[in-house]
Structure 1
Amino acid sequence: MSNKRVYLFREGDKSMRDLLGGKGANLAEMSNIGLPVPPGFTITTEVCTEYYASGKKLPAGLMEEIETALKDVEKDQGKTLGDPNNPLLLSVRSGAKFSMPGMMDTVLNLGLNDQVAEGMIAKGADPRFVYDSYRRLIMMLSDVAFGDRYEGISKHDFEHQFYDLKAELGVKEDLEVSADKLKELCERYKAYVQSKGVTFPQDAREQMKEAVEAVFRSWNNERAIIYRRREKIDDAIGTAVNIQAMVFGNMGDDCGTGVAFTRNASTGDKEVFGEYLMNAQGEDVVAGVRTPLDLNELKLQNPIIYNEFVNFCNVLEHHYKDMQDIEFTIERNKLFILQCRSGKRTGTAAVKTAVDMVHECLITKEEAIARVNPDLLNQVLLPVIAPGTKYDVIAKGLPAGPGAATGVAVFDANRAAEMGKGGQGQRVILVRADTSPDDLAGMLAAQGVLTERGGMTSHAALVARGFGIPTVAGCSSIRVDAEKRQFTIGDVTIKEGDYISLNGGLGEVIHGQVPVEDAKMTGDFGTFMGWADEFRKMGVRANADSPADVRKAIELGAEGVGLTRTEHMFFEGDRRPVVVSMILDIDNPETRAAKLGELLEFQREDFKGIFEALEGRPATIRLIDPPLHEFLPNLTELTAEVAVDKAAGKSDAAKETMLRAAESMHEINPMLGLRGVRLSIVYPEIVAMQVRAILEGAASVIKAGGKAVPEIMIPLVGHVNELTTIKADLEKTAKAVEAEQGVSIPYSFGTMIEVPRGALTADEIAVEAEFFSFGTNDLTQMTFGFSRDDSDKFLKPYVERKILPGDPFESIDRKGVGQLMQIAIDKAKKVRPNIKLGICGEHGGDPSSVQFCYEIGLDYVSCSPFRVPIARLAAAQAALGKGVSDK
């Protein structure tokens, strides 16, 4: 820990972000390179940590250090804080290491009081400017310093009082309120604060102390905590406090304030763009109090200032070698730069900016790859709401499937499938309390999916990511009533047939229709991804269950299939009845054989299509995994239906037979039930049929002159004897197919490591398995004893209370699940040094998990097709050792 707690701007530089925060480090850097930055100083982030460690008390001696720094600023400005005859006014702002725009508190015009206001006016200051600045200080300081300690003090109450005053005067704009009336407003404000039990401080140093503490306290306000959680910013890093001499954009028509980016943050185009207001302070621009002007207007209004500002933009962009977000103020036709930081941008803009800066020789290709957050690529690939659209958000949930969608609300999956059949029907949004595999057809036909329950790895979210469906999941503020075909949110009721829209990237539910357009796929994207492929060393495959999925995955850069879930093929409309019929008579060998014969025809063609689409690339195909009850109607619903029939004196033999089958097959805990390799051993004919279908499909492609590389994966192995037993049977089937077809097929057998015992005995299992694929979803479930559907029940509270650092179903738990993976890898390589190693759980598309997979030596990751570019970029960043977030 540094002994120095307060740094003048000239004493720091951009390398000191940990200590001075991003804003403080950049203010120091800009000061040192000669930009017109008002002087000031920074209280370090370490003081924030001390403040909380001591029970929210400022460390002893801090105010003395602040006073020393303040004297330096006073000397520079020739003004004194609190002096009515020549007052120095200050701004007090937060500034963490990572940009958190708008999340913490700010105080402007600090040092104003009744005497200072009168003194400024006596010295010739515009009275309207003085009292406009004073009323802002009273509002801001009271809100941030006292609002959390004195019940009822709220910024909104101040704003309402100002609104009421304008209404009394019959005016709409702030600038129409006279100096006398603003002075009267200041008195109203002070009286309001007094009524809440606190006297607004007239002592400037007391104001400063209150403001510093308020900024530190704002580190843990609700919005800051939520923002950090979403952005995965460490709570422990704290915020710095920046105290700076004020410059004023509200002194008259030759003054102003604005925010601008050195490039277009939406498109990445190389053009300075932003907004500004004349005769205003900074919060007016961002708060929407007045409608700002496009920065291009400044070129006409004041070309000298505009050209000077553009020059500063170029200086900063070349100095930082990145697009900058800049705040500026004009005081009496003099330009000041108040802040710069790396500009937030869309995925499209991030890619274009990175590519352009390489071509402009500002950065290297390696730096370009490191700079783009992999998750931003979602925005490049998926539909978006047309830029500039205004819309009404009625609810927010989890951003489970990015992209935008608009359509009529439909509350039944079958109805959605019928209405949106073949993509040629009506545009629909499927709304469900939650989803199940039964809803798949409806989900695929829908433009988007909205669920009341479920987390980021719920069924809805998994399918959404796999198929690129915009989805808002776990929207707990809505109440879905499937019977009434409606959902409610507060006083709003959305009925079936009403239009709604979704912004999956932000988890927004929108009332009515919005214009949706395809994301612009530019040449920059291909160039950028080509660079990523140059640097990455780990392969990227896709989880794909159909030829169409495979083609999309390859289009997005997949090098093969890392997971084909064969049971998904059984859910298709014409196959489901065959599977159900087989299950209903599962103990009859003849019926079982006949039904499997029908399914063989379907699956053979499925695999032939997949191998043709792959064009010689490998495909890891998982044999049937889920318990058989998942193919049957829901047990609870079926039980209720039969009970209603009986109560009405009706009898439905078929339904009752189905109920008996569902009861016999139902698993209380499917993780511990008859599934995976266990199901294969009990009913070996099922997987024998699947292996035959895989290899006959491959043989067909090979005989036609193509290539097919099937990797047959046996799931859920926890003991080597399970694998030994079933593999011996399946090898016989494989040899028989080769003999019948007269071709040699380069197949291999491996297993999915998803049972902890499988990981711990990987050396035994590797004797039989030619490859491992880590099924981290199930491995996480069995390691923690959690279900991935537990998000709403306790995982969210666990993360919020820091019992867990994050949701282990979103990013691999390195200490637990990751350690099992490392053990499995080390043991397997001892007996089979060249064993192929991959991952096919949802973690394969999570950038942090991809980095971990690279570190432990996996050969490839596999993820849903639409996350393939994300995995490619994350793999490149892992290989470069750059770009991985240190938040």
Structure 2
Amino acid sequence: MKDWRTGADSLRLAVTAALAGGDTAAERAKAVLSITAADLDDVIHAQFEAAAVALTSGLGASPGAGVGKVYFSADDAADAADRGEDVVLVRNETTPADVHGMMVANGLLTTRGGLVSHAAVVARGWGTPAVVGADTIVIGDRCFSVGDVVVEEGDVISIDGATGDVVLGEMATASGGPPEEFFTLLSWADEIRAGHLAVRANADTGDDAMKARELGAEGIGLCRTEHMFLAADRLPVVRRMILARDADEEGAALEELGRVQQADFEDILRAMDSLPVTVRLLDPPLHEFLPSVAELTLKEATEGLSDVEQQELRAARTWAEHNPMIGTRGVRLGVLKPGLYAMQVRALLAAVQTLRDAGLHPIVEVMIPLTVTRPELALARSWVEAEIEATQSDHSDITIGTMIETPRAALRAGDIAHDADFFSFGTNDLTQLTFGFSRDDVETRMMPAYLDLGLLPANPFDTIDQFGVGALLRLAVEQGREAVPGLKMGVCGEHGGDPASIELFHEIGLDYVSCSPYRVPIARLTAAQAVLASSSK
């Protein structure tokens, strides 16, 4: 049986030994080098007290122990949580429309998807245990089955987000919280990496930002603004904007969204006062905010649709794409609907002014997603600058940059840099597009076979591919800084919290990494270890 106190014990032993050795820089460095990411995960997340026989398993996508009653829709999960029940949300895969159910769940379990699927990324950001890609699970009518075993809605299961195990019934959990040595050792790590590699967090709400700051984040490297549109009171407004029949209807919906988005920005900027916050303008395709074509078509055939649902079905079919992740999203959506980006920038500037008037010091970086050419970025930059100029206030400290997340953008980084104040590498999409792998499909079936046969040294969505994706990163850094010396660069893909990837990011000269809030301590530790390793060469 595993000793569940190993992480805490390792921290205590490391700090005690360093203090006993005279508390020198060398002893502190030795202590930092002796701790692993697994040690920190052990003390950050709840763990099961004992081992158990798993019903099935998938990919451990977000560590921790999750126990609760099974529900199969976001609405049912939210209703159960309102009744005071502990919930595990089970889906084939999640989408932004499921967020209200995901946020109340003790755990997430999906039959499809990989380590950078929607469920995995959102769960890591919230510190919610998650198992994805459990493809032996077959979801039926308010139940799921694994072979001959049937689990009904309302039955209790336990999931281990580190191992990927799914267990029938309620398992006991233990979480004593991090020992004092956790904070001591990370303070030593911060001293070592100071001036080398900063650590930010990916956070989308004021609560996420506060948690990130508590865990030592030095800013936000990625604020995904689309998550602000998904609350129950906002999604209908987004849909009104999509369904608008004329400019007046679209403008009214955008104005309403702008008001709520300003409040969201204020919460995040307040939590990160005096620290940089990188706000990414809307990235996903519009169809993600609409009901699925399949669901509406089925309802049309069985129950019939209301007038609004008929409009939604027409819009969903209009915006549907065969390959939406390489379709009309990011800046491409902004080109078709520039009012969206203009609204977001106005809301952001209003939030900045409100906080300045209150005596706070917001630091804002506006990030344009998915640019592939310099003219594209120049156009999007002009939208932002036009809104800044319209305020007639001094916003000269607001910087405008872009995500480098396609091979073309990496290859043309020197050209794109002339219109960018910073680069942020989106390594999830860069990995997907470099390999030609669908990040939602390959990890459960194909990836295990490739790893077993030695066709890949590691899952490239987990640890950065050093020779392909890594080569593009090196080239982009070199070209970008040759064109604009001192250009600030960071990484905001999930690799920002992976120890092996962080070594490469330090080596090629990035200024910061950004990762999910609960991975911030691991990034702080690993960044220090990377600095120590490079200084010893």
Give the secondary structure class of the aligned counterpart of 1:347: helix
Matched-pair contact (CA < 8 Å) for 2:388–2:395? no
Q: CA offset at residue 655 of structure 1?
A: 2.0
Work out which of the residue numbers 429, 439, 450 in structure 1 matches 2:109: 450
Partner of 1:371: 34
- Residue equivalent to 2:268: 610
One-letter code aligned to 1:777 = N
Q: Does the CA-based 8 Å contact 2:202-2:514 persist in structure 1?
A: yes
Deviation digits for residues 35-66 of structure 1 (CA, Å, limit 9, x no counterpart): xxxxxxxxxxxxxxxxxxxxxxxxxxxxxxxx
Partners of 1:770 and 1:835 within 8 A in 2: yes
Of all paired residues, the percent bearing the same amino acid is: 45
CA 265–431 in structure 1, closer or farther in 2 if over 3 Å, else same: closer
Instruction: Tell me how far 1:506 sits from its aligned partner.
Output: 1.9
Unaligned runs of 5+ in 2: none
Aligned match for 1:523, one of 171, 175, 180: 180
> Equivalents in 2 of 1:390, 1:828: separation in Å?
50
Give how far 1:453 is off: 2.2
Are the counterparts in 2 of residues 384 and 403 from structure 1 also a CA contact under 8 Å?
yes
CA spacing shift, 1:666–1:517, aligned 2, 3 Å:
same
Could you tell me which amino acid in structure 2 is paired with residue 781 of structure 1? Q
1:786 aligned residue: 437
Deviations 1:284-335 (A, max 9, x none): xxxxxxxxxxxxxxxxxxxxxxxxxxxxxxxxxxxxxxxxxxxxxxxxxxxx
Q: Which residue of 2 aligns with 1:594?
A: 252
**Structure 1 segment 536-547 matched on structure 2, within 5 A:** 536=193, 537-547=196-206
Question: Does 2:61 correspond to 1:400?
Answer: yes
- Tell me which amino acid in the other structure corresponds to 1:381: I
Counterpart among 282, 294, 309 of residue 636 in structure 1: 294
Which of 381, 384, 388 lines up with 2:44 in the alignment?
Answer: 381
Please show how residues 449-848 of structure 1 align to structure 2 within 5 Å: 449-481=108-140, 483=141, 485-536=142-193, 537-585=196-244, 588-645=246-303, 650=304, 652-737=306-391, 739=392, 742-744=393-395, 746-789=397-440, 790-848=442-500
CA distance in 1, matches of 2:124, 2:361: 29
Does residue 411 (structure 1) correspond to residue 52 (structure 2)? The answer is no
SS in 1 for 2:54: strand
- 1:689 maps to amino acid: M
Number of residue pairs the alignment of both structures matches: 530
Aligned counterparts of 1:375 and 1:863: Cα–Cα separation in 2: 16
Q: How does 1:275-290 map to 2 (within 5 A)?
A: none
Residue equivalent to 1:222 = none
2:89–2:105 contact (8 Å) kept in structure 1 = yes
> Does the CA contact (< 8 Å) of 2:61 and 2:124 recur in 1?
yes
After superposition, the C-alpha distances for 1:51-98 in whole angstroms (9 at most, x for unaligned) are xxxxxxxxxxxxxxxxxxxxxxxxxxxxxxxxxxxxxxxxxxxxxxxx
Deviations, residues 690-716 of structure 1 (Å, cap 9, x unaligned): 011111101111111110111000011
Code of the residue aligned with 1:514 in structure 2: it is M
Q: 1: distance between equivalents of 2:93 and 2:455?
A: 27
1:312-351 matches, within 5 Å, as 346-351=6-11
Q: Is the 8 A contact 1:560 1:614 kept in 2?
A: yes
> Do 1:370 and 1:882's aligned partners in 2 also have CA atoms closer than 8 Å?
no
CA distance in 2, matches of 1:426, 1:609: 29
Cα separation, 2, equivalents of 1:654 and 1:619: 38
Amino acid at match of 1:570: F
Q: Residue 577 of structure 1: SS of its match in structure 2? A: helix
- Please give the alpha-carbon distance, in whole angstroms, between the structure 1 residues aligned to 2:267 and 2:465: 37
Structure 2 counterpart of 1:614, one-letter code: M
Aligned partners of 1:744 and 1:642: how far apart in 2? 50
1:201-231 per-position Cα deviation (integer Å, ceiling 9, x unaligned): xxxxxxxxxxxxxxxxxxxxxxxxxxxxxxx
For residues 617 and 710 of structure 1, the distance between their equivalents in structure 2, rounded to whole angstroms, comes to 9
Matches within 5 A, 1:196-275: 266-267=4-5
Distance 1:680 1:476 in 2: 36
Which runs of structure 2 are paired with 1:10-409 in the superposition (5 Å)? 266-267=4-5, 346-361=6-21, 364-386=27-49, 389=50, 391-409=52-70
- Mapped to 2, the partners of 1:529 and 1:377 lie a distance apart of 10
Deviation at 1:265, TM superposition (A): 5.3
SS in 2 for 1:806: coil
Does the 8 A contact of 2:43 with 2:175 survive in 1? Answer: no
Alpha-carbon distance between aligned partners in 2 of 1:520 and 1:643, rounded to the nearest angstrom? 52
Q: Secondary structure at the match of 1:510?
A: strand
Q: How far does the alpha carbon of each residue in 1:107-146 deviate from its partner, in whole angstroms, 9 at most, with x for none?
A: xxxxxxxxxxxxxxxxxxxxxxxxxxxxxxxxxxxxxxxx
Query: What is the CA distance between 1:442 and its match in structure 2?
Result: 1.2
Residue 240 of structure 1 is matched in structure 2 by none
Structure 1 residue 743, shift from structure 2 partner: 4.8
Closer, same or farther: CA 883–401 of 1 in aligned 2, 3 Å: farther
Q: Give SS of 1:696's match.
A: helix
**Residue in structure 2 matched with residue 123 of structure 1 by the alignment:** none
TM-score using structure 1 length: 0.58
CA distance in 1, matches of 2:20, 2:164: 36
SS at match of 1:487: strand
Could you tell me which amino acid in structure 2 is paired with residue 395 of structure 1?
A: T
The answer as to whether partners of 2:131 and 2:164 remain within 8 angstroms in 1 is yes
Superposed CA deviations along residues 729-758 of structure 1, whole A, max 9, x for unmatched, are 220101212x1xx45462110000012111
Letter in 2 for 1:367: K
- Give the Cα–Cα distance (whole angstroms) in 1 for the partners of residues 368 and 176 of structure 2: 39
Quick one: higher RCO (CA 8 Å, sep 6+), 1 or 2? 2
Q: Distance in 2 between matches of 1:623 and 1:564?
A: 9
| 1:445 partner SS | coil
Distance 1:622 1:596 in 2: 17
Q: Deviations over 1:135-181 (max 9, x none)?
A: xxxxxxxxxxxxxxxxxxxxxxxxxxxxxxxxxxxxxxxxxxxxxxx
Distance 1:594 1:523, change over 3 A: same
Deviations 1:838-869 (A, max 9, x none): 00011101111111100000000000000000
SS across alignment from 2:318: helix
Structure 1 residue 410 displacement after superposition: 1.4
Change (3 A) 1:823 1:791: same
Alpha-carbon distance between aligned partners in 1 of 2:61 and 2:535, rounded to the nearest angstrom = 24
Give the equivalent residue in structure 2 for 1:873: 525
Comparing 786-795 and 842-851, the one that deviates more:
786-795
Q: Is the 8 A contact 1:266 1:349 kept in 2?
A: no
- The code of the aligned residue for 1:673 comes to G
SS in 2 for 1:706: coil
CA distance in 2, matches of 1:778, 1:390: 36
Give the conservation status (yes or no) of the 8 Å contact 1:391–1:511. no
TM-fit CA distance, 1:519: 3.5
Q: Distance in 2 between matches of 1:455 and 1:728?
A: 37
> 1:429-466 CA distances to partner (integer Å, 9 max, x unpaired)?
11222222222111111111122222222222111111
Matched AA of 2:354: S
CA separation of 1:562 and 1:851: change in aligned 2, threshold 3 A: same
Residue 871 of structure 1: CA displacement?
Answer: 0.6
Q: 1:817 to 1:546 in 2, by over 3 A?
A: same
Q: 1 CA distance for matches of 2:459 and 2:335?
A: 34
* Residues 95 and 288 in structure 2, CA contact (< 8 A), matched pair in contact too: no
Query: Contact 2:299/2:305 (CA < 8 Å) preserved in 1?
Result: no
